[in-house]
Every structure is written in structure tokens, then in C-alpha cells.
């Protein structure tokens, strides 16, 4: 006898199928309701983020435009400064000639400066066609200090010219490029008020992160967020430009804002960095020991002492002693340093004996110190040469594009809300 059962032999209880259908319907309704709630939450979140993004952009964005444009100019600040002051900052480089000795160059500057001038530093020429720069200070009758910058032809040891770099704390007594620099990081409000710009930059950093969230296409097709429909309506074109420029420049803008904020709030940045890696205090290059009847050594001899520590690299600057206990600080810039404006390979030299008192060597930096070293060259783009500076130039123009398109987009939306939605035909 066979016990096999066919599908036709299976008999379900009465009403079982209808019960299964009702359960399935309820589950489907729950899924739909849950999906709708998620969509409503997403829509509410987008509206809130959009309002925050728009508010920050309309107000803080105006400052961002000016700071960005000034940063674009400052990407090539040395070239611009030399171009504006070519008669005193540029020299004719002979075909086959070498620099005169450092002592001759400095002696020419000392002979041209007033007796009460105090030498501060000698910066070597940036390239064969530029002059050496000597900074000195003069105390005024009202107990203020005037800072002067003198330029000397390194091939002839003759003074090319002189300019007032700063009169007291009056920003507009400076040359144009330093004025733009002061605006870029303090809005001309003074160094003590740089935190104002730093706070604005933090808001803009948040706004860009929100912009990345809002950029994400709802249908998941991210390629649409990277395209600009040039033949679309004016409203759509403005929207596409704002969205595309924003996403293409987002990473670079975030790096620029982050490094700028980190430098403005430098003490806080150092404190946070020490939580992850040791960071030593700024170097103390020591004090010279006065030797009775012994005249100070020359700048050339001080550099010779530093060359024994760093035989390689380019002589970048010499910080000059301005007091009996002051020291020479000789900076030898290596080719792999990211920072081209200054150097972190410095040697403190006793101005009487020529003895090396302290050595700052970036090769011995901790991870935290290297992080701090990279902030400025990343911000300016100089860490990557002309290419990096060119990128910073383009990034500096991005806030203007974003602000104009964002403002036009905001105005289009306001006009759309004011249009009548219902038209009655009489």
C-alpha cells in the first residue's frame, strides 16, 4: 500500500489562505509606512540642513569670498611683491658671477641704515635675479618701533633701495602684499582679533560638509551631481554650476579651511596635537657669553659654524643678534622641506666664540611636529611648488563662484514661492 501524498491531496483549513493574505498585507502596509516615515525624516533633515547651509553661505560666505580672493593673490605673493617693487627688489644677474661675501652685503646695509637701527635678519635672495633683504628696526620718539626693509644687490654689495615695512601697528603703513596678508588672516582687525575670522572659517567648514550631504542625489545616481547641463534653463544652470563646483572643490576647500583654523587657533592646535604625539616648545637658541676684549665674529663665520652641522641645503636666512647676549640663528633650508617661506633647520651660534648653542633639525621632528610644520605650506600650496600655488589660486576663486550661484539660486527660490499657484479664469 502506497503512502505517497500528492499536492492535490493536501487540504488546508478553511480561511487559512485569507489569513495569510491579511498578514502579508499588514506587513506590506508596515513596510510602506516605515518607508514613508524614513522619507519624511529625510526630507525634514534636508530642509534643516539646507536652511543652515543657505544662512551660513549668505552671511559668512561674503567674508569667504574676500578671504578666498586675497588667498588667491597671496599664492604668488613673492612674485607679485617683486613685480610691484622691481626697482629695489630685483637685480641683474651676471652670466658668470657669484655673490659677494655675507659680511660685505651686511656691511653695505649697516652703512646705509641710521646709527640707532637694530638689525633683525638677513634673508638670502629667492632666485638669481632677486636682492638680499635686511630687516632692521628703529625706535621712534613716541616709544614706538618702525620696521624697515633694505635690499642689497648680492653681486655688487650695493644697496638697491629701502622701504618702510611697518610703522608702529598701523596696518596701512605696510606695503601692499603684507596688507593683503594681514587682511587674509585677521580681516585687518589686528592679530588679537584673528579668532573672529577663525570662527567664521569653522562655520564655513560645517557648511561645506552640509553641502556635500545635500549634493548627494536622491536617486543614487551620483554621476548626475557631477554634470552641468549647459543648455538647460538659467535656474537649472545656476544650480548645476553651484553643485558641481562645490563638490569638485570640497576637499581642497576643507583642507584650506582646516589648516587656516589650525593656524589661527595655534595654541589649541598644539594642545590637541600633544594628545596624539609629543610636541616640544618653540626652540630656545641660547645666549651668547660676552668675552672681554673679544669682538663679535662676522656673519660669515657664524654661517661657517652652521655649515658644520648642516653641510647640505640652501642658506635661507640669518637672524642677527641685536643685544650683547643675542645669538646668530642660521637657517639652512633643505630641498625636501615643504615650507619654502621659512626653514626648520636652524643653528644657534654664539656671536663671540662661534660655538654652536642649539640645533633645530626637522629630521628629528615627531609626528605631531611634522603635522604642525605642514599646516602653512599646505594652506599656501607652496609645499607642491608652482603646481600647488596654482591650485590654491583656483581654489581661492571658488568661493566667489559658489557665493554668486548660491545667491542666484536663493533668489530664484524666493521668486518661485511668491508666484501664484492657482489661476482662476473669470
**How would you label 80-110 residue by residue, b for 16+ Cβ within 10 Å and e otherwise?**
ebbeebeebbbbeeeeeeebbebebbbbbbe
| C-alpha cell recorded at residue 369 | 611636529
Supply the pLDDT for residue 426.
Answer: 38
Q: What is the pLDDT of residue 89?
A: 97
Angle, alpha carbons 315-266-276 (nearest 5°) = 95
Q: Are strands 314-319 and 158-167 parallel, antiparallel or unpaired?
A: unpaired
Can you say whether the dihedral through the CA atoms of 300, 301, 306, 310 is positive or negative? positive
| Cβ atoms within 10 Å of 164's Cβ, excluding its own | 13
pLDDT of residue 90: 97
Q: How far is CA 170 from CA 173, 219, 240, 251, in A?
A: 6, 56, 44, 36
* The pLDDT of residue 423: 47
What is the block-wise mean pLDDT of the chain (426 residues), using blocks of 10 residues?
52 59 62 68 84 92 96 96 96 89 97 94 96 94 87 97 88 92 94 94 96 82 76 86 92 97 96 96 93 90 97 96 94 94 96 96 96 97 95 96 92 74 47
C-alpha distances out from residue 27 to 21, 34, 35, 37, 410, Å:
10, 10, 12, 15, 42
Is the CB of residue 400 less than 8 Å from the CB of residue 68?
Answer: yes
pLDDT for 217? 76
Half-sphere exposure of 187 (CA within 13 A, CB side): 18
Amino acid at each position: 500500500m502506497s503512502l505517497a501524498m500528492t499536492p492535490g491531496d493536501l487540504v488546508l483549513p478553511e480561511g487559512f489562505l485569507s489569513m495569510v493574505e491579511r498578514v502579508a498585507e499588514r506587513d506590506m502596509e508596515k513596510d510602506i509606512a516605515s518607508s514613508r516615515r524614513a522619507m519624511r525624516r529625510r526630507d525634514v533633515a534636508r530642509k534643516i540642513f539646507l536652511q543652515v547651509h543657505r544662512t551660513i553661505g549668505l552671511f559668512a560666505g561674503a567674508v569667504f569670498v574676500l578671504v578666498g580672493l586675497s588667498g588667491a593673490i597671496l599664492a604668488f605673493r613673492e612674485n607679485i611683491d617683486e613685480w610691484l617693487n622691481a626697482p629695489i627688489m630685483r637685480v641683474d644677474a651676471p652670466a658668470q658671477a657669484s655673490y659677494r661675501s655675507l659680511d660685505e652685503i651686511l656691511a653695505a646695509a649697516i652703512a646705509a641704515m641710521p646709527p640707532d637701527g637694530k638689525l633683525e635678519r638677513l634673508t638670502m635672495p629667492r632666485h638669481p635675479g632677486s636682492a638680499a633683504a635686511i630687516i632692521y628696526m628703529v625706535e621712534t620718539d613716541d616709544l614706538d618701533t618702525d620696521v624697515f626693509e633694505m635690499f642689497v644687490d648680492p653681486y655688487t654689495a650695493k644697496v638697491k633701495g629701502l622701504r618702510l615695512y611697518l610703522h608702529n601697528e598701523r596696518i596701512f603703513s605696510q606695503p601692499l602684499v603684507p596688507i593683503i596678508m594681514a587682511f587674509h588672516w585677521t580681516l585687518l582687525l589686528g592679530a588679537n582679533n584673528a579668532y573672529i575670522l577663525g570662527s567664521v572659517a569653522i562655520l564655513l567648514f560645517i557648511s561645506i560638509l552640509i553641502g556635500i550631504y545635500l549634493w548627494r542625489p536622491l536617486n543614487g545616481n551620483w554621476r548626475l551631481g557631477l554634470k552641468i547641463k549647459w543648455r538647460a534653463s538659467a535656474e537649472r544652470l545656476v544650480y548645476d554650476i553651484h553643485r558641481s563646483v562645490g563638490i569638485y572643490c570640497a576637499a581642497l576647500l576643507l583642507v584650506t579651511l582646516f589648516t587656516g583654523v589650525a593656524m589661527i587657533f595655534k595654541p589649541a592646535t598644539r594642545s590637541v596635537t600633544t594628545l596624539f604625539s609629543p610636541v616640544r616648545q618653540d626652540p630656545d637658541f641660547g645666549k651668547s657669553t660676552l668675552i672681554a676684549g673679544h669682538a663679535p665674529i662676522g656673519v660669515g663665520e657664524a654661517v661657517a659654524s652652521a655649515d658644520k652641522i648642516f653641510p647640505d641645503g640652501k642658506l635661507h636666512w640669518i637672524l642677527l643678534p641685536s643685544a650683547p647676549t643675542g645669538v646668530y640663528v642660521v637657517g639652512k633650508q633643505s630641498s625636501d622641506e615643504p615650507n619654502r617661506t621659512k626653514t626648520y633647520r636652524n643653528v644657534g651660534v654664539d656671536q663671540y666664540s662661534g660655538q654652536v648653542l642649539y640645533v633645530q633639525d626637522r629630521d628629528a621632528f615627531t609626528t605631531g611636529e611634522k603635522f604642525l610644520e605642514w599646516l602653512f605650506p599646505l594652506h599656501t600650496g607652496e609645499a607642491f611648488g608652482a603646481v600647488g600655488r596654482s591650485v590654491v589660486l583656483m581654489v581661492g576663486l571658488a568661493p566667489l563662484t559658489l557665493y554668486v550661484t548660491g545667491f542666484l539660486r536663493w533668489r530664484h527660490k524666493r521668486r518661485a514661492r511668491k508666484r501664484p499657484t492657482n489661476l482662476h479664469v473669470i
